[in-house]
Amino acid sequence: MKSFAKLFLVAAMLASAFCASANTAEPAKAAQPDLAKGEASYGAVCAACHGADGNSGTPTFPKLAQQHPQYLVKQLQEFKSGKRANAIMMGFASALSEDDMRNISFWLASKAAKPGFAKDKEAVALGERIYRGGIADRQVPACAGCHSPNGAGIPAQYPRIGGQHAEYAASQLTALRDGVRKNSLQMNQIAAKLNDREIKALADYVAGLR
């Protein structure tokens, strides 16, 4: 009986230790984003350039409304670290904590994006061909494969680009092509195969996607 009691005691101690170890190993859950704080931080830091609701009225500043929050957090982190080079954005992002970034990003994701429109009818046809079919002889994939047919993107993987200002989209494709923007190797490799006319056509077509 005594030996049985000892075995029972050892088993109970081992089970207790296993449970404690399992609980310790369980990853900590990220805090839920605070949308009220996100709105306040956005209004204080971002609204002047990106619009009160994330729909920038200035063609050179991107629309951020309805963007995937994971993508926005990543960009803010990389502006802060310098991986995505932009002196102005680095200054703003450096003042934000990880919680600030998450709160702002999820608040922006909750805002509806205002549709844009294409301006150059001749360019739109070329832009549509590239966006939907790529350029086979240069191994340029169809943009729709990652960014979806309507430009909505794929959450947590590829950003929303539909309705984005053509001027901003063209500037980013050019920066990616020329190696000025270096925080997306995949897009560096794709944009490197595009000429100025194709970039302009793609950007104009994307602006009208909805």
Lowest-confidence segment of 17-26, 95-104, 149-158, 164-173 by average pLDDT: 17-26
The pLDDT tens digits of the residues spanning 57-81 come to 999 999 999 999 999 999 999 999 9
Per the structure block, which two tokens stand in for 146? Answer: 């990652």
Tens of pLDDT, residues 124-157? 999 999 999 999 999 999 999 999 999 999 999 9
Percent residues over pLDDT 70 in the chain: 86
pLDDT at 83: 97
In order of start, what are the domains of the chain with their CATH numbers? 35-109 (1.10.760.10), 121-207 (1.10.760.10)
Distance CA 50, CA 34 (A): 20
- Mean local confidence (pLDDT), 88-95: 97
Phi, psi angle pair for 83, to nearest 5°:
-65, -35
User: In this predicted structure, what is the pLDDT of residue 26?
Assistant: 44
**pTM for the complete prediction?**
0.84
Q: Give me 101's structure tokens.
A: 């970034």
Strand partners of residue 140: 135
DSSP 63-113: --TT--HHHHHHHHHHHHHTSS--HHHHHHHHT--HHHHHHHHHHHHTSPP
The band of 5, judged by pLDDT with boundaries at 50, 70 and 90, is very low
pLDDT at 176: 98
pLDDT on residue 30? 63
Q: Using CA atoms, how far apart are residues 190 and 210, in angstroms rounded to an integer? A: 23
What are the tens digits of pLDDT across the range 25-42? 444 556 799 999 999 999
- Cα–Cα distance, 141 to 94 (Å, whole number): 35
